[in-house]
Amino acid sequence: MQNGLEGVVVAETLTSSVDGEAGELIIGGRAVGDLSGVVPFERVCGLMWERDVEVAVPLGAARARAFERLPDLGRALSLADGMDALRASVAQLDDTSREGVTGAVAVFAAAWSRTRRGLDPIAPDPEAAHAADYLRMLHGDAPTDGAAAAMDAYFAAVVDHGMNASTFAARVVASTESDRVSSVVAAIGALKGRLHGGAPGPVLDMLDAVGAPERAEAWVREALDAKERIMGMGHRVYRVRDPRAAVLERAVEQLDSVADPARLALARAVEQAAERQLRERKPDRPLRANVEFYTALLLEALGIERALFTPTFACARVVGWCAHYDEQRAEGRLIRPRARYVGPRPEAAPALRSRAG
Ligand code: COA
């Protein structure tokens, strides 16, 4: 059943545009393929926030400030789930600038990962590029140029994506004239779910279960016969292959020094099998690879553990949330949809037992 919001326009935006029929994603006025891997993440932030404002210096400073806050976060960074940790740590921020929140998400995500691995968090380098610094805070060493470029390309590709669930959550909170941190915390909660940001980990679990390209067809058939969903396939808006899948697949290919070619071959076999079988079973509903499919491969190749995939997604998407927060505050109108009541009318409702009875 549709929830009544399909296709409903709830805001005007300068941030991004998604054309699901054509498979076109425009971010800050550019096609995603001309942005990701081409324009550095900091400039993408500038495009999203203020038509090309310079953010590298304030973003680096914000990472440094966020790191200073780590000792005050209590249990937040020892929570078992990375998105719970992010929600609990971001909720304590008092720096409510766009750069402040964006810098903090990367620092907190990296610190959570280090903490769960029994390692001390690593201080950011405010001079470094945001994506490269994220990898350095995770792994301890400065990344290779190729790895830094791939991380940067990923961040740019997923920075914003129309009125997706987490962005809508952020805008609803902003529309009540609440603060930016509350808006971002709501968005983190929405992103946590596996139908939104939680799919790339399960994509790798699936690849592990399939094991070899020649097993892909049989594995997909069994999964679909058991009424399971193939992770990384299908999209609410796209009726063609998600354009970000192509961008990220290219980024994985270019990472040949780090990526495992056999893994890429396995992923392509599973994608082809899933696409073909889903087309047979659902001829009226095109179900093709979405962003999560090649996100999984890319983040794995960058040495990022599965549990950190969704927090890493949040590191980029927070830029979009912040832009939407500002737009919604500027618009200044409460978002208040309606629900269609399908319960009984008072005259037909069963009698309630009185307190005495
Ligand atoms: N594997 C198998 N079947 C799928 C499917 C998938 N990945 N995605 C959708 N379908 C099927 C549904 O079961 C449904 O079948 P039915 O009509 O027999 O019930 C039909 O296609 C339509 O699905 P629907 O739930 O209406 O699509 P949606 O627009 O609500 O779902 C997603 C979009 C993304 C939630 C859905 O495609 C999905 O669950 N994908 C896997 C999770 C994922 O990759 N999430 C990341 C999104 S970026």
pLDDT in tens, 298-340: 999 999 999 999 999 999 999 999 999 999 999 999 999 999 9
- Ligand 1: centre distance to CA 230 (Å): 8
- Ligand 1: centre distance to CA 14 (Å): 29
Question: What gap in Å lies between CA 205 and CA 79, rounded to an integer?
Answer: 22
- Pairwise pLDDT comparison (236 vs 7), residue with the higher score: 236
Going from the C-alpha of 210 to that of each of 118, 132, 225, the distances in angstroms are 31, 32, 15
CB within 8 Å of 272: residues ≥ 6 apart: 216
The answer to whether the CB of 157 falls within 8 A of the CB of 244 is: yes
Counting from 1 in the atom list of ligand 1, the atom nearest the Cα of 195 is: 45
Listed residue (188, 165, 163, 91) closest to 328, CA to CA:
163
The answer to whether the CB of 145 falls within 8 A of the CB of 255 is: no
- Pairwise pLDDT comparison (299 vs 256), residue with the higher score: 299
pLDDT at position 218 is 97
Is 271 catalytic? The answer is: no
* pLDDT band per the 50, 70, 90 thresholds, residue 198: confident
pLDDT above 80 (res 31): yes
Question: What gap in Å lies between CA 235 and CA 123, rounded to an integer?
Answer: 38
| Overall average pLDDT of the 240-269 stretch | 88
The answer to whether the CB of 245 falls within 8 A of the CB of 234 is: no
pLDDT above 60 (res 1): no
| Overall average pLDDT of the 234-242 stretch | 91
* Ligand 1 and 45: CB distance under 6 A: no
- Pairwise pLDDT comparison (6 vs 54), residue with the higher score: 54
User: Residue 288 corresponds to which amino acid?
Assistant: R
Write the DSSP assignment of 69-100 as a string of letters.
HGGGSTTGGG-SSHHHHHHHHHTT----SHHH
Predicted TM-score of the model (pTM): 0.92
**Distance from first CA to last CA of the chain, Å, rounded?**
40
- The pair phi, psi for residue 86, each rounded to 5°, is -65, -45
pLDDT above 80 (res 357): no
Question: What gap in Å lies between CA 164 and CA 295, rounded to an integer?
Answer: 17
The answer to whether the CB of 35 falls within 8 A of the CB of 156 is: yes
In percent, the amount of the chain with pLDDT more than 90 equals 85
As given in the structure block, the two tokens for residue 229 are 């969903």
CA 122 from centre of chain: 24
Say which of 235, 271, 275, 300 is annotated catalytic.
235
- Ligand 1: centre distance to CA 7 (Å): 17
Top mutation candidate among 161, 164, 235 for ligand 1, by most atoms within 8 Å of CB: 235
* Ligand 1 and 275: CB distance under 6 A: no
* Ligand 1 and 195: CB distance under 6 A: yes
Tens of pLDDT, residue by residue over 161-189, are 999 999 999 999 999 999 999 999 999 99
* Ligand 1 and 221: CB distance under 6 A: no
pLDDT above 60 (res 121): yes
| Overall average pLDDT of the 257-269 stretch | 84
pLDDT above 60 (res 70): yes
Is 50 catalytic? The answer is: no
